Structure 1
Amino acid sequence: MNKKLFGVSFAQKKYDLALKYCQPAAEQGDPEAQYYLGLMYNKGFGLKQDYTEAMKWYLKAAEQDNKDALCSLANMYLEGEGVKQDYTEARNYFIKAANLGDAAAQYNLGVMYSSGDGTKIDYIEAKNWFLKAAEQGQAKAQFNLGVLYFNGQGVKQDYFKAVEWHQKAAEQGYADAQYNLAKIYYLGKGVKQDFVNAKKWFEKAAKQGHAEAQCCLAGLYIQGLGVKQDLMNAKKWLEKAAKQDHAEAKAFLSDINSIFKS
Structure 2
Amino acid sequence: MIFSLKNLSALKVAAVAPLCLLLLVACGEAKKHSRLCETHFNTDSFKIAQKHCQKAADDGDSASQYFLGMIYLRQGQRQEGRELIERSAEAGFQKAIFHSTVWTFLSKDVDDATATKAIQQMQEYAEAGDDVAQFWMGNVFLFGYMEQKRSPNEATYWYQLSVEQGNHRSMNNLAWIKALARDSDLFDPNGAIALAKKAVKKHPKSHGYLDTLAAAYAANNDFNAAITTQEQALSLAQSDDCEHCSEHLIKYYQEHLDRYRQQKPLEDDLFK
Alignment correspondent of 1:217: 213
Amino acid at match of 2:47: G
Q: Is the contact between residue 78 and residue 90 of structure 1 (CA under 8 Å) also seen in structure 2?
A: no
Query: Is 2:189–2:220's contact at 8 Å kept on the other side of the alignment?
Result: no
TM-score where L is the length of structure 2: 0.59
- 1-side partners of 2:218 and 2:142: how far apart? 28
Distance 2:172 2:78 in 1: 37
Q: Name the residue aligned to 1:123.
A: 115
Greater C-alpha Rg: 2
Aligned mates of 2:170, 2:229 — CA distance in 1: 19
Q: In the TM superposition, what is the alpha-carbon distance from 1:108 to its structure 2 partner?
A: 0.2
Output the CA distance in 2 between the equivalents of 1:201 and 1:188. 15
Q: Is the 8 A contact 1:134 1:145 kept in 2?
A: yes
Q: CA deviation at 1:187?
A: 3.0
Give yes or no for the alignment of 1:201 onto 2:200.
no
In the other structure, the counterpart of 1:43 is 46
* Further displaced range: 145-154 or 179-188: 145-154
Distance 1:241 1:83, change over 3 A: closer
Is 1:72 aligned with 2:67? yes
Report the Cα distance in structure 1 between the residues aligned to 2:215 and 2:231, rounded to whole angstroms.
13
- Distance (Å, rounded) in 2 between the aligned partners of 1:94 and 1:180: 28
User: Which structure has the higher relative contact order (CA within 8 Å, separation 6+)?
Assistant: 2
Task: Give the whole-Å Cα distance in 1 for the aligned partners of 2:223 and 2:25.
Answer: 61
2:146 pairs with 1:150: no
Contact 1:73 1:93 in 2 (8 A): no
**SS of residue paired to 1:243:** helix
Partner residue in 1 for 2:80: 85
- Paired positions, count: 215
Choose the corresponding residue for 2:170, options 162, 174, 177.
Answer: 177
Unaligned runs of 5+ in 2: 1-23, 239-249, 262-272
2:181 match? 188
**Paired residue secondary structure (2:56):** helix
Aligned equivalent of 1:33: 32
> Once the two structures are aligned, what percentage of the paired residues are identical?
19
Q: Is the 8 A contact 1:149 1:158 kept in 2?
A: yes
- Indicate the RMSD between aligned Cα atoms, in angstroms: 4.2
TM-score under structure 1 length normalisation: 0.61
2:130 to 138, 142, 151: 138
Could you tell me whether the CA contact under 8 Å between 1:31 and 1:61 is conserved in 2? no
